[in-house]
Amino acid sequence: MEQTILQRISSGDKSAVQDCLDNYGGLIWSLARRMLADQNEAEDAVQEIFIEIWKNAERFDETQSSETTFVAMIARRRLIDRLRKSSRKPIVDSFEDILVEPSDNRDKTIQTNIEAKEVAQIIRNLRPEQQKVLQLSIVQGLSHQEIADALKMPLGTVKTHARRGLMEVRESIEKDKKNIKKEVSA
């Protein structure tokens, strides 16, 4: 069975680094540019993220997530940490743009993997408030206070929408994973 890029990296195959850059460079760069306003900071973050990915490559478990999702987990976490440490505001050009159509960005969006495709559908089925809060929190990296201010919503309500939204998405992903396992074992 062919090894994944991360499996090759964890086994010390240096040539897999180029594949890793080719496959995930655009994705990580896009995530970084979306969250960090400063180009230099985004470049530093991306470099750190790749080192982080190589360091954690051996932790990748293809039964738990796709390689793309694993890479995105590391990237998102690193970017959020940077935002919090720097105490800088994330990029939000216009709240109106985000809030009017929080997840209806299908035409110009690369549906990165099957999970992301399905999640886009799940998000569209969430309540509009949940969609907005998830968008501002996860996609834009805003704190709950910043979201409360932006949406003029009590802090507790922001947390409730965020939690319920994330739990629904998580449950849907886990349900799909179980169904796939059932289909495979049947």
Partner 1 sequence: MNNKDLQQARLFELLCDEVMFELTGQDSEELRQLREEFPHFGNDISFEKAAAVISLSNLDIQETLPHNLKARILQSADRYFETMVADVKTDHQTIPVGVTSSIEPLEPVRSSLMNWLGWGVAALACIALIANVWLTRSTPENNVVDVPKKVATPTPEPSLNEKKQQLLASASDVVKRDLTSPDKNEDLTGEFVWSNDKQEGYATFRGLPRLDADSETYQLWIFDEAQGEKTPINAGVFNINETGEITVPVDADLRVKKPIMFAVTVEKPGGVVVSKREKIVALAKLEA
Residue list 43-102, contact with partner 1 (CB under 8 A): 43, 46-48, 50-52, 54-56, 58-59, 64-65, 68-70, 72-74, 76-78, 81, 84
Q: Is 143 in the site for partner 1 (CB under 8 A)?
A: yes
- Interatomic CA distance for residues 135 and 147, integer angstroms: 10
Q: Is 4 in the site for partner 1 (CB under 8 A)?
A: no
Q: Are 173 and 181 in contact (CB under 8 A)?
A: no
155-185 vs 144-151: helix crossing angle, rounded to 10 = 110
Q: Is 132 in the site for partner 1 (CB under 8 A)?
A: no
Q: Is 113 in the site for partner 1 (CB under 8 A)?
A: yes
Q: Is 41 in the site for partner 1 (CB under 8 A)?
A: no
Of the ranges 16-24, 89-97, 178-186, which one interacts with partner 1 (CB under 8 A)?
16-24
Residue 95 exposure: Cα atoms within 13 Å on the Cβ side: 12
Q: Is 25 in the site for partner 1 (CB under 8 A)?
A: yes
Q: Is 182 in the site for partner 1 (CB under 8 A)?
A: no
Cα distances from 85 to residues 41, 81, 108, in angstroms, run 12, 6, 32
> Between residues 60 and 186, which has the closer beta carbon with respect to partner 1?
60
Residues 6+ apart with CB under 8 A from 68: 24, 27, 112, 113, 115, 116
User: In whole angstroms, how close is the CB of 117 to partner 1 at the nearest point?
Assistant: 7
Q: Give 3-state DSSP helix, strand, coil % of the chain, rounded to 5.
A: 75, 0, 25
Radius of gyration in angstroms for the set of CA atoms belonging to the chain, rounded to a whole number? 18
> Between residues 64 and 179, which has the closer beta carbon with respect to partner 1?
64
Q: Is 138 in the site for partner 1 (CB under 8 A)?
A: yes
> Between residues 26 and 128, which has the closer beta carbon with respect to partner 1?
26
Applying CB under 8 A, among 21, 37, 100, 180 the residue interacting with partner 1 is 21
